[in-house]
Chain A
Amino acid sequence: MNDLLAGLQSAFGLIIHLDHDLVEISLRSLQVTLSAVFISAAIGLPFGAWLSVTRFRYRRFAIALLNALMGLPPVVVGLFVYILLSRSGPFGVLDLLFTPTAMIIAQVIIVTPIIASIAHQSMRELWFLYHDLLISIKTTKWQRMQALLWDGRRSLLTATLTGFGRGIGEIGAIMIVGGNIDHLTRVLTTAIALEVGKGDFPLALGLGIILISIAILINLSIHVLSRTEREGTW
């Protein structure tokens, strides 16, 4: 109980004074995860739509695989990306290991299947409703995907948010490929782990509260955005 109170106090102190390290770490967390989510959505949403409107031989298998990839253990993803990016790995020459870019790559691998899978589930239902009409109107495959992406945008926002939630709280992969280097790759989750390791629970708790606040804030603001959109454009 004392730890909790001290943690809250410490968090408030950090926020009010706009502690330099804290701001830097928070911004880096946002930069990494927002970049990863942006890339993942750009890949995952169209892929989910494509999967909804396309019939091919191994479709069921592809969907099962996608759902399985949703549960990819971040630590293993981190290991995989580490091997690829390490000096002796195939992409070693790019010198990306222990940079924010490496962290973004790892998070894209974790978040894309989540966004694609959730997006596919909602667009598949929509496609079931639209199927006959869109075939009757002689739409092209691309037009069908566009219709699903546009008309399903609310649930696609939810899919993207879920991906964001997963990314912002992720530590397994980001620790391995980022290395938690001060002023370079330290983000909220890795900083919390470090503070706990050092036994600085109040600071760890403070950072945790800030992490949760960021997640809630972003969720709320997108919720408000989608509300105004609904009332405004139709």
Chain B
Amino acid sequence: MVETILPVELQNAIVRKGTKDIIGPLNLTFGGKGCSIVIGPNGAGKTTLLRLLHGLERTTSGTVRWAARKGDTYSRQSFVFQAPVVLRRSGIENIAYPLYVRGVVKKAARAEAEKWIGDIGLRDVGNNDASVLSGGEKQKLAMARALITKPEVLFLDEPTANLDGAATLEIEGLIRAAVEAGTRVIMATHDFGQARRLATEILFMYHGKVHERATADTFFDDPQSEEARKFLRGDLLV
């Protein structure tokens, strides 16, 4: 086993767009195992935090430091976006794509993708153009594409925000399986039920800051901050 890329540590991290501090200053560490869920109202900065950790955003000040040397840190992570990004090619080719990028030979990559397309229940449409799939199918495809590289850390940005109940449960099944297999999951959601079902811990974000970090039970049954209590009551929408 290679040395792990975790923990990742944020020190006084601030992301500013224009004159506004979108998030921060944040001082956080993610290590160990499990599923951290970032919860909070729209505009709280959940997406920005995830993108910052994954290197898609830069700090205006402060630092993000992964334990491993820079170079291959980000290639041992995957990110699933809120609106699934689907390449204009077949489902199987979508799933195999990250392996091609890593230089895996075509035959091996396709064989692995065939396995995944079966696991997510899309074998019958795997050779069709992926852009005609439904929203839920596209997101399952994005999950498989994220997992095929066996990432150490998986970022999920509201992966079920636009999906119906059945599709949501399927995605949650994939997330749970990944966590059980040892993948460190860091996920944003504003769905309380989902947070309860999946979270090892909850980070409550509001106005760009983390106001509370606790186990799911503690957070939902006995929130410590006033903002979290308001949020859970439904009084805090923006």
A1 beta carbon closer than 8 Å to chain B: no
Residue of A130, A135, A136, A143 most packed against chain B (CB within 10 A) = A136
In the complex formed, the residue of A with least CB distance to B146 is: A136
Residues 56-82 (chain B) with a chain A CB within 8 angstroms? 56, 74-75, 78-79, 81
Alpha-carbon separation in the docked complex, A175 to B61 (Å):
63
Q: Which of A26-34, A62-70, A144-152 contacts B (4 or more CB under 8 A)?
A: A144-152
Identify A138's interface contact among B75, B81, B85, B87, CB under 8 A: B75
Q: Chain A interface residue count: which class?
A: 10 to 19
A234 beta carbon closer than 8 Å to chain B: yes
A132 touches B128 (CB 8 A): no
A137 touches B129 (CB 8 A): no
In the complex, chain A residues whose CB is within 8 Å of the CB of B78? 136
Interface string of A151-168 (1 = CB under 8 A from B): 110000000000000000
In the complex formed, the residue of A with least CB distance to B142 is: A133
Alpha-carbon separation in the docked complex, A137 to B94 (Å):
12
A137 touches B56 (CB 8 A): no
A94 beta carbon closer than 8 Å to chain B: no
A129 beta carbon closer than 8 Å to chain B: yes
B181 beta carbon closer than 8 Å to chain A: no
Identify B128's interface contact among A136, A143, A234, CB under 8 A: A234
Identify B98's interface contact among A126, A135, A137, A150, CB under 8 A: A137
In the complex, chain A residues whose CB is within 8 Å of the CB of B74? 136, 138
Given contacts A132-B56, A234-B127, A234-B129, A137 and B97 within 8 Å (CB-CB) = yes
A153 vs chain B, min Cβ distance (A): 9
Residues 71-113 (chain B) with a chain A CB within 8 angstroms? 74-75, 78-79, 81, 85, 87-90, 93, 97-98, 101
Alpha-carbon separation in the docked complex, A230 to B131 (Å):
13
Per DSSP, are chain B's interface residues mostly helix, strand or loop, or mixed?
A: mixed
B56 touches A234 (CB 8 A): no
In the complex formed, the residue of A with least CB distance to B84 is: A133
Alpha-carbon separation in the docked complex, A151 to B74 (Å):
25
B87 touches A130 (CB 8 A): yes
B101 touches A139 (CB 8 A): yes
Alpha-carbon separation in the docked complex, A10 to B231 (Å):
83
In the complex, chain B residues whose CB is within 8 Å of the CB of A139? 101
In the complex, chain B residues whose CB is within 8 Å of the CB of A150? 89
A126 touches B88 (CB 8 A): yes
B107 vs chain A, min Cβ distance (A): 17
B54 beta carbon closer than 8 Å to chain A: yes
Alpha-carbon separation in the docked complex, A230 to B101 (Å):
24
Given contacts A137-B97, A138-B101, A152 and B85 within 8 Å (CB-CB) = no
Identify B79's interface contact among A129, A136, A147, CB under 8 A: A136
Identify A151's interface contact among B75, B81, B88, B98, CB under 8 A: B88
In the complex, chain B residues whose CB is within 8 Å of the CB of A130? 85, 87
In the complex, chain A residues whose CB is within 8 Å of the CB of B88? 126, 151-152
In the complex, chain A residues whose CB is within 8 Å of the CB of B129? 230, 234
Given contacts A234-B90, A234-B128, A234-B129, A137 and B85 within 8 Å (CB-CB) = no
Taking beta carbons and an 8 Å cutoff, which residues of A are in contact with B?
A: 126, 129-130, 132-133, 135-139, 143, 147, 150-152, 230, 234
Q: A132-B85, A136-B56 are in contact. List 15 more A-B contacts (CB 8 A).
A: A129-B85, A135-B56, A136-B54, A136-B79, A138-B74, A138-B75, A143-B101, A147-B87, A147-B97, A150-B89, A151-B87, A151-B88, A234-B93, A234-B127, A234-B128
9 residue pairs, one from A and one from B, having the closest CB atoms: A133-B85, A151-B88, A234-B90, A136-B79, A138-B75, A137-B98, A234-B129, A139-B101, A137-B101
